[in-house]
Amino acid sequence: MAVSRRSGSRRSPSDVQAAWLRRGLDQPGGKLPLFDERGQRLKKATVDACLKAGWAERWFHNPLKPDWLVCRLTDAGRDALTAPTPAANETEDDARQGALI
């Protein structure tokens, strides 16, 4: 059975998505790049998944390149990057339980 992917429903971005989103952390307005570190255009599926999850949003329309999605990082995207992963929480819980024994 498929899980619905409404805005913010996915718990954390994939490694590729997180790498793209992280690049907006230090940019004015949270602007996300159109190209990866090697100068290759980002896969549309990566951008679309982040838009659908609410981690990024369309910023403005580029009249010179109407097919390019100019996006920026959202607050939900920042939260997704800084939220602890379940594995980290389990490790902390295991450490606490070990300390109690």
CB half-sphere exposure, 88, CA atoms < 13 A: 4
The average pLDDT across 34-58 equals 94
| Higher per-residue pLDDT: 5 or 69 | 69
Helix (H) or strand (E) holding 97: helix 86-100
Q: What is the pLDDT of residue 10?
A: 55
Q: What is the pLDDT of residue 62?
A: 82
Contact present, 36 and 42 (Cβ < 8 Å): yes
Q: Domain-by-domain residue ranges, the chain?
A: 15-85
CA angle (52, 44, 3) in 5-degree steps: 35
DSSP 41: B
Q: Quick one: what percent of the chain has pLDDT higher than 70?
A: 73
